[in-house]
A = this chain, B = another copy of it.
Amino acid sequence: MPAARKPAALRAHDHDRCIEDALAAAADLCRAQGARLTPMRRRVLEILWQSHKPLGAYAVLDILAAEGRRPMPPTVYRALDFLLAHGLAHRIPSLNAFIGCSAPGAHRDGQYLICRNCGTVAELTDTGLAAELGRTARAHGFAIESVLTEAVGLCPACAGTGAGAA
């Protein structure tokens, strides 16, 4: 089988297009599921997509506040909960932060590559890894339902610039 395409977060790309595509995909997915992508939810998703770095809930809140809306924490958390529930965003537990999902279709059991230097996060969706772990767990009588993998290291851009010596 062909190697999976390199995640956009790890290569040069037209990021405006990246955002556009993500929002369009989200709109489609919500329409298909009868879910309401309200202005607040859409705006939060757009904010998460402004970069490939995850944002904390309060960072999202600060951006919204700077725009004139002055939402309180629950409003932001509810929008984030909606996005998580519909597979449009992910939470990175080790960072207490959120990021737009790059694969709203196959968003389960992803692997996150977190650059410890610049904070960029790339999402992989190698289903084989989760399957392999699932087999091992099953052998021990444990029935896995979902898997989350967080890898920390250096992204291509940072690996090349001697960031490792920091």
| Distance (whole angstroms) from the CB of A26 to the closest CB of chain B | 24
Given A6-B140, A10-B140, A143-B154, list of 19 further CB < 8 A pairs?
A7-B140, A93-B93, A93-B94, A93-B150, A94-B148, A113-B140, A113-B142, A113-B144, A115-B142, A116-B145, A122-B142, A124-B133, A124-B136, A124-B137, A133-B149, A142-B159, A143-B164, A144-B153, A149-B150
Partner of A141, one of B10, B94, B152, B164: B10
* A151 and B147 contact, CB distance less than 8 A: yes
- The reply to whether the CB of A55 lies closer than 8 angstroms to some CB of chain B is no
The answer, yes or no, to whether A21 is at the interface (CB within 8 Å) is no
Interface 0/1 of A103-147, CB less than 8 Å to B:
000000001010110000010101011001110110111111111
Give the interface size bracket for A toward B. 35 or more
A133-B129, A136-B124 known; A148 vs B145 contact (CB < 8 Å) = no
